[in-house]
């Protein structure tokens, strides 16, 4: 599976007991750096703050290094999503692409993402 250069927007958090939709007005995003940029880096928005981390991908096994982020405060819905999102990313175990979506399994559930088209300047939406 090739993730380098791809950009994604969170659709939902899924567990065995519930499906929590992403906060539409504050999308959480995930962008994997292109191969010619900083290899094995990812970045995006948690819905409030920008974040970055390193990652390794071996087959379908995904491991995400410690997250660094800005420290702004936002409304409670956005902060709750961001806390849940950052926790899920930090416990990522594997990933797969299915029906055009990116699914990331983490300790306790699954993150579901849809692809994001890059902007004219080549960057992902922020």
Structure tokens at 16: 């065995």
Q: What is the pTM of this model?
A: 0.87
The low-confidence residues of the chain, meaning pLDDT below 70, are: 36-38, 118-126
Pick the CATH number of 7-115 from 3.50.50.60, 2.40.128.270, 3.40.50.720, 1.20.1630.10: 2.40.128.270
CB atoms within 10 A of CB 3: 18
Per DSSP bridges, beta strands 41-45 and 19-21 are unpaired
Nearest to 62 by CA among 2, 20, 18, 16: 2
Domain layout of the chain by residue ranges: 7-115
């Amino acid at each position: 599976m090739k993730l380098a250069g791809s950009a994604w927007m969170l659709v939902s958090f899924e567990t065995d007991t519930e499906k929590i939709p992403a906060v539409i007005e504050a999308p959480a995003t995930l962008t994997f750096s292109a191969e010619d940029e900083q290899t094995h880096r990812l970045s995006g928005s948690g819905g409030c703050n920008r974040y970055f981390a390193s990652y390794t991908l071996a087959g379908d096994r995904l491991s995400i290094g410690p997250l660094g982020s800005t420290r702004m405060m936002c409304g409670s819905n956005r902060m709750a999503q961001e806390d849940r999102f950052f926790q899920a990313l930090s416990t990522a175990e594997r990933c797969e692409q299915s029906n055009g979506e990116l699914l990331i399994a983490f300790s306790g559930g699954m993150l579901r993402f849809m692809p994001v088209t890059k902007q004219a300047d080549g960057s992902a939406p922020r």
